[in-house]
Structure 1
C-alpha cells in the first residue's frame, strides 16, 4: 500500500515537469514566428510593491536578494534560490502556526515543526527562527512560531551562504531564510480580515499602507493581528498578538527602510514532540493527531521586541554605500514544559514518561553592518564589487537551570487522557549564561564578460564566546575561533532563457555547546564547547525561464564535520568525529497554462555518515532524513472571482538512532477555494482552506526525535478591502 502511495505521489510531482516542457516547447515555437521580446515587456503585469515581478503562476518571484551582492534575477543566480511571493505565504498560512506551512512550497525544505516551533530541514540541515533573517538582518528571532502577517515575501537559499550573507551568531549550513517585510505600495491599502480555525480559534488582522510626501517619497505600512482560542488539537489554546510598523523613504539619492515590531504569545497544552528510549525496537504507529499529551499547567508565554534598519546611499552613478542594523529582545518568561520540549517513549506499546521543568529563557541580539558596492568597467569586462564589515552580538540565558518537577508523570500515546502532575513550582530566573560576539568582513566580486559570469567571494570572521554561571553571573570560560569561508561560481547563458552554472560555497560555525542530555541520555561532557564545524557544498545546475514556465535542476554534494553521541564505559558523550555527506538532486518548477497555475518540485538526497571512528555507524543514513520529498501546488482560476487550490506534500521514509528504527513515509493533501465579491460596495474575499484533508496521522522526523502531525484543520476567512 505504501509503495503504491509513494509511486502515485512521485508521479503527481513529476507531472509538473512534463507540463512545463510542453509549455516551454509551445513558447519556443512562438519565438520562431514573432518578436517575443516586446510581448514579454508589455505583458509583465504582476509587480509587487517592491518592484519584483512574479514568475509564472504567481507563487515565486523573479528577483531575490543575494546578500551583499544585491538583487539578482533568480535565473542568473549560480546556486539554488527560491523567493516565495506574498501569494505563496497567504495561500497556505495557518493562523498561529507561523510560516513553516509556506516554506513547505520549497522542494529542498522538509518540515520539522510542531504547533510550538517553526523548525525545518533545508537539504538535511536543521534550521529554525534563530537562523532566520528579517530584511537581511540575522539573529532577531527564536525557535518559537513566527507570524506571517507582516511578511511580503520569503527568500530561500539552499546550502551554505556565509560568504555573501555576512556574519551571524546562529549559523546554519543548510541554507538561508530571509523574510522581507511589507512596504507601502503606489496604491493605498486598507484591509481588515477575520479568520476562524480549529475548535474555537478566532483571528483579526489589519493591514494599512500609505505613501505620502510631495513625491510620495515616504511610505508607511502597519500590520497587526489578534488570535485567541482553541486549536484543532484537543485542549490546546493559543493567544497571539502582534504589531508591526514599516516606514520607508525613497528618493534619487537614497533608499531607507525601518521596521519596528512587537509580539506576545501564550501557548497552552502544546506538547507533541517525542524521544525514544532503549526499550523501543519498532516505532509505534502514529496515534490520533488530535490527542493532547500536555500535563496540567503546561504552557509557554513570551514576548519579542525587534527593530531593523536598512539604508543605501548613492555615491555616484556606479557606487553606493549601505548600512544594515537590527536589535531584538526575547523573553520566555513562563515555560512549564517537557524537558527539551519532548516526552520519552519507552517501549513498542507507546508508554512514555515525562521529564518536565520550569525554565525561563531570555535572549537579546544586536547586529550592525556597513559596506560599499559598485561597478568597475575594464573594456568588455565589468566587475560588480561588494565589501562589508559587520558585527553581531548574542546574549542568551539558555543555561539557566530548569526547576524539574512532575518526574512521576507518565502516559500512553494511544490514551487521550489529561495528565495531572505535581503543583507547578516557582519560576527560576537568572542572568546570561553565554555572550557571543562575531566580527566579520566579506568581499565579493561578480565578473561579467559576454555570456559568462564569474563570482569570487570570501568571508572571514572571529567568534568570541564567553560562558557564565547564570545563577551568579560569574565568568566560567572563554572560547575564540576564526574561520574563512570562500565562494566561487561560474555561470554561462547560451541564450536569454538558459543558464548553466557550477558553484562552491562554504560555512563555518562558532562551535556547539554540549547539552545536559539528548535522547533521554545524560551527557557526561555537558557544557563542553565542541570545535567549530566546517561545511562545504559543490553544486552544478541548469535553469530555464520563459514567459509561461520556469524550472531549475541542480545536483549538490555537501560535506560537514559531524557531531554525534557515543556510549563509553562511564556514560554517554557528545563528540566531533567523522563526516556527514548529503548528496542529492533537486528539481523545482512553476508554470502558467491558461487558467491553471502550477508550482512545486522534488528532491532526492542520499545522506550518510562517513569516516567515523565508530565503524558501526559508517555508511548509515543520517538520522531523521528521508531520501525523497516533494511538493505540488495546483491552482485553477475560473474567472476573476473564483479560484480553487490544492497542494500535495510527500516525505519518504526515514530512520533514526543510526538506522535501528524506521519511520514510515507520508503524503498529505491541502485544498481550498477563494471567492471575491462585494458587500455594500466593499470588496471582500471569502476563503475556505482545509489542511490534511484526509485526516492522516503520521510522524514527522527531526534528528532522533519524532513530532506528531497536525490533525485535519479547516480555516475560514473574510478579508475586506476598505
Structure 2
C-alpha cells in the first residue's frame, strides 16, 4: 500500500474522529483532564478554583513540590497519581516550569536531568531514543496521558506538555506492555490543560546556528462557573542548527478542551506535529573494524549534507470520568494517532577504516514508513474497608492496535569514502518504492490492583496482576502472559520518611523462530523481565531525596550452534544504586539531579562468549546535578548551572573497546520583570559551555554517537 505524508485529508479524518468521540455519552469514558499547576509568581491558577464535585478523579494534576521543578506526586499508570513518598517505585514528574527555564524543546532535553537516563541517539537527531537503567526505550514507547502509541513518534516537542513523568524500571502491571516491549522504564507525557485564569503567552526564542521560533499559549474558560475550558498551543520554528549548514523546521498545533461537570468530566486533546531536518544530520560512527579508539570529531561537522528527513504526527484523544458515588468512579479514554516518516531519518552513520585517521566508508538510505495506532482503556476504581484495613482498588481493560509498514526493498547508495574530521558530501540513495503494510498487531490486557492501607496509613501494600495478550495478525503470533507486581511502603517515623520495596515484571513480545533454524515455526511466549528494588525516601522541609537499590533481569534469545536452534537462553542482569534529589536545599537555592551506579552485566550470551562482560553503552557511573539560585537583592533574577557526567563505557559487547568518561557543564540565567504592564521573562542557556568534544554514548554494538557542540538558547516570554 502507498502511504503519503499526513495532509488535510487525514486532518479532516482525525477531526471527524474527535467529533464522533465527543458525541459519546460521558458515562462511556473516564480519567478526566488534569489541571494546570500554579507556578510561583505566575498568573496561572489551578482548576481547583472551578467548582467540581468529582472528588474521586485520580488524574487531577498534582501540585508542584517546593522549587517548582518537579511534581509532589507522579502518575503510576493504573494506580493514578501517587505522592512520591507513598509510591513503592522511583518516580519523578518534571514540570513545564523547568522546561521553560531550561529552554528544553524536546522530551529528551527534559530527561537529561536524570542520572539514570542516557541516550542512544545524538542530541539534535530527528529520532530520540533513551537508555533507562541500562535498557533501551525507543521514542515510539513514550505514553501520552497514560496511553501508548498516541504521543508523537521520533521526537516529542515540549510546548504542549505540562509534565514529563519518569518511572524507572519495568511497568507491565502499571502501564501494560509498550509497543516495542521496552523494560528500562516508563516515560509518560501529560499534556497542558485549560487554566482557571485567562492566559495569553507568547514566547520567541533563538538557538545556535540561526534557529528562530515563536510559540503561542492561549487558554480561556467559558460558561456557567467556567466549566468549559479551551487551550491552544501553536509553534513555528525554522533555521540552521548547531550542525554546519543543517536546517530544522518544526510546526506544532495542539488543542485541549475540557468540561467539568458536577459528577463527570470530559477532556479532549488533538495535535499535529511536523519536524523537517534538511541538509544534514548528526553522525553515528562504527568502530567494527577498529582495534583502538580515536578522538571524537567536532559535533558541528556535517557528514550528511543533502540528507533530508521528515516526520509527521497527528493524534486525538478523548477521556473522561463519571463518579458513581463518593467512593467509586468509572474512567476511560480512547485515541487515534498517525505517524509517517520519509527520507533519511536513520542510516546517518559511517564505518571507520582500520587505519585510524578518521577515514570512513559511508552509505545513505532512502526510507519511508508509517504507524497508525488506535488505543483505548476503560475501568473502574474505588475504595472500601475491611475492618481496619483500607482498600484502593482498580480494574482496567486496555486495547491497542498498531498497523505499520515501510517501503521495501530499502534503497541504499553505493559506498563512498569520507572522513569524520574533514567530511565530503555523501552519495544519495536512489528513489524508494511505495510503502506496504508489514504489521497488524493487537495488544490487549486486563489488570487488577489493590493498595491496602494498614496502621493509619503507615503501611501501604500494593498487589496486582495484568493478563496481557499479544496478537501479531500478519505473523500468526498469538500468545499471552500474566505479569504480577507487589509494592510495599512503610513509614515508621512519620509522613516524611518511607521505606519501600517492589517486585515487578516487564513484558516484551516473543518471536516465531525463522526458517533458517532447525526449530523453525516454534513460537516463544512474551519475554518476562523481572525487577527487585528497595529504597528509602525522605523529605527535609522543602528538600526531597530517594535512594534506591535495584536488580533487573532481562531474557533474550541465543543460538545453539550445535543444533542450529534458537533458544531463550540469553540474559542481561543490571544491578544498581540511584540517588535522586530535588527541591529547595536552602531558601532561594533549588537543586535537581542525582548520581547512579550501574553494573550492566551480560550473564547469558551466545556460546558464553561474552558472559561476565558489561553491556555496551551503559556506563557504570553517571551523574546529573543542577542548581538554580535566586540572586539576592535583584528580584526576579536567577542563575543556574548543571554538570552532566558519564563514566567510561564499553563500545561493544566483547568489551574490547572502551570510550572515555566525559563531563559537560551547562549554564543558564533568567530575569522576570514587568514591561508596559506585562509580565515578561528573559531566559538564556548554554549547553556544553566549554565546547567539549566527546563520544557521548552507544547507538548499537560497536557504534558511538558524537556529543553536541556548545549550543546557545535565548528566549523571551510575554503574558498579554
* Equivalent residue, structure 2, for 1:488: 486
Secondary structure, in 3 states, of the residue corresponding to 2:692?
Answer: coil
**Aligned partners of 1:194 and 1:719 also within 8 Å:** yes
Change (3 A) 1:330 1:524: farther
Of residues 565, 576, 599 in structure 2, which corresponds to 1:606? 599
* Residues 585-641 of structure 1: CA deviation (Å, up to 9, x unaligned): 111112311221111111101010113352221100011100011111101112432
Q: Distance in 2 between matches of 1:673 and 1:513?
A: 54
Alignment coverage as a number of residue pairs: 656
* Equivalent residue, structure 1, for 2:716: 718
Please state if 1:558 is matched with 2:530. Answer: no
Secondary structure, in 3 states, of the residue corresponding to 1:614?
Answer: helix
Of residues 430, 454, 461 in structure 1, which corresponds to 2:468? 461
Change (3 A) 1:481 1:488: same
**Aligned partners of 2:441 and 2:473 also within 8 Å:** yes
* Equivalent residue, structure 2, for 1:36: none
Please state if 1:665 is matched with 2:661. Answer: yes
Q: Distance in 1 between matches of 2:512 and 2:618?
A: 23
Change (3 A) 1:664 1:270: farther
Secondary structure, in 3 states, of the residue corresponding to 2:437?
Answer: coil
* Equivalent residue, structure 1, for 2:335: 326
Please state if 1:536 is matched with 2:530. Answer: yes
* Equivalent residue, structure 2, for 1:4: none
Please state if 1:435 is matched with 2:440. Answer: yes
Please state if 1:651 is matched with 2:607. Answer: no
Deviating more after overlay: 111-120 vs 382-391: 111-120
* Equivalent residue, structure 2, for 1:261: 271
**Aligned partners of 2:243 and 2:282 also within 8 Å:** no
In the alignment, structure 2 segments of 5+ residues that lack a partner are 1-38, 48-59
**Aligned partners of 2:367 and 2:407 also within 8 Å:** no
* Equivalent residue, structure 2, for 1:23: none
Normalising by structure 2, what TM-score? Answer: 0.86
Q: Distance in 2 between matches of 1:619 and 1:223?
A: 50
* Equivalent residue, structure 2, for 1:208: 218
Report the CA distance between 1:547 and its aligned residue: 2.9
Q: Distance in 2 between matches of 1:385 and 1:539?
A: 23
Secondary structure, in 3 states, of the residue corresponding to 1:360?
Answer: strand
Of residues 614, 633, 636 in structure 2, which corresponds to 1:621? 614
**Aligned partners of 2:103 and 2:714 also within 8 Å:** no
Report the CA distance between 1:496 and its aligned residue: 1.3
Change (3 A) 1:582 1:420: closer
Please state if 1:597 is matched with 2:604. Answer: no
**Aligned partners of 1:672 and 1:688 also within 8 Å:** yes
Change (3 A) 1:267 1:244: same
Q: Distance in 2 between matches of 1:576 and 1:352?
A: 36
Please state if 1:641 is matched with 2:636. Answer: yes
Q: Distance in 2 between matches of 1:530 and 1:227?
A: 46
Report the CA distance between 1:531 and its aligned residue: 5.6
**Aligned partners of 1:82 and 1:106 also within 8 Å:** no
Report the CA distance between 1:48 and its aligned residue: 5.4
Change (3 A) 1:660 1:322: same
Report the CA distance between 1:660 and its aligned residue: 1.2
Q: Distance in 2 between matches of 1:561 and 1:500?
A: 29
* Equivalent residue, structure 2, for 1:500: 499
Report the CA distance between 1:666 and its aligned residue: 0.9
Q: Distance in 2 between matches of 1:582 and 1:676?
A: 44
Report the CA distance between 1:528 and its aligned residue: 11
> Aligned runs of 1:290-689 on 2, under 5 Å?
290-294=300-304, 296-332=305-341, 334-336=342-344, 339=347, 341-347=348-354, 348-398=356-406, 400-405=408-413, 407-415=414-422, 417-422=423-428, 425-450=430-455, 451-467=458-474, 477-494=475-492, 495-511=494-510, 532-563=526-557, 576-592=568-584, 593-638=586-631, 639-658=634-653, 659-689=655-685
Report the CA distance between 1:326 and its aligned residue: 1.6
**Aligned partners of 1:129 and 1:141 also within 8 Å:** no
Q: Distance in 1 between matches of 2:185 and 2:85?
A: 18
**Aligned partners of 2:582 and 2:592 also within 8 Å:** yes
Of residues 113, 123, 129 in structure 1, which corresponds to 2:121? 113
Secondary structure, in 3 states, of the residue corresponding to 1:87?
Answer: helix
Report the CA distance between 1:508 and its aligned residue: 1.3
Q: Distance in 1 between matches of 2:560 and 2:301?
A: 34
Secondary structure, in 3 states, of the residue corresponding to 1:432?
Answer: strand
* Equivalent residue, structure 1, for 2:134: 124
Q: Distance in 2 between matches of 1:619 and 1:598?
A: 37
Secondary structure, in 3 states, of the residue corresponding to 2:224?
Answer: coil
Please state if 1:289 is matched with 2:299. Answer: yes
**Aligned partners of 2:211 and 2:237 also within 8 Å:** yes
Change (3 A) 1:418 1:575: farther
Q: Distance in 1 between matches of 2:191 and 2:280?
A: 28
Please state if 1:231 is matched with 2:241. Answer: yes
Q: Distance in 2 between matches of 1:525 and 1:403?
A: 32
Of residues 675, 693, 696 in structure 1, which corresponds to 2:692? 696
**Aligned partners of 2:513 and 2:566 also within 8 Å:** yes
Report the CA distance between 1:530 and its aligned residue: 6.7
Q: Distance in 2 between matches of 1:261 and 1:624?
A: 34
* Residues 292-335 of structure 1: CA deviation (Å, up to 9, x unaligned): 110x4311113111012221110111100011222100111x31
Of residues 86, 100, 104 in structure 1, which corresponds to 2:108? 100
Change (3 A) 1:300 1:51: closer
Report the CA distance between 1:101 and its aligned residue: 1.3
**Aligned partners of 1:492 and 1:500 also within 8 Å:** yes
Change (3 A) 1:44 1:456: farther
**Aligned partners of 2:101 and 2:670 also within 8 Å:** no
Change (3 A) 1:616 1:142: farther
Change (3 A) 1:527 1:242: farther
Following TM superposition, the consecutive aligned residue runs of length 4 or more in structure 1 with deviations greater than 4 angstroms are 43-51, 512-515, 522-531, 566-570, 572-576
Deviating more after overlay: 278-287 vs 268-277: 268-277
Q: Distance in 1 between matches of 2:211 and 2:156?
A: 17
Secondary structure, in 3 states, of the residue corresponding to 2:616?
Answer: coil
Secondary structure, in 3 states, of the residue corresponding to 1:640?
Answer: coil
Q: Distance in 2 between matches of 1:550 and 1:152?
A: 21
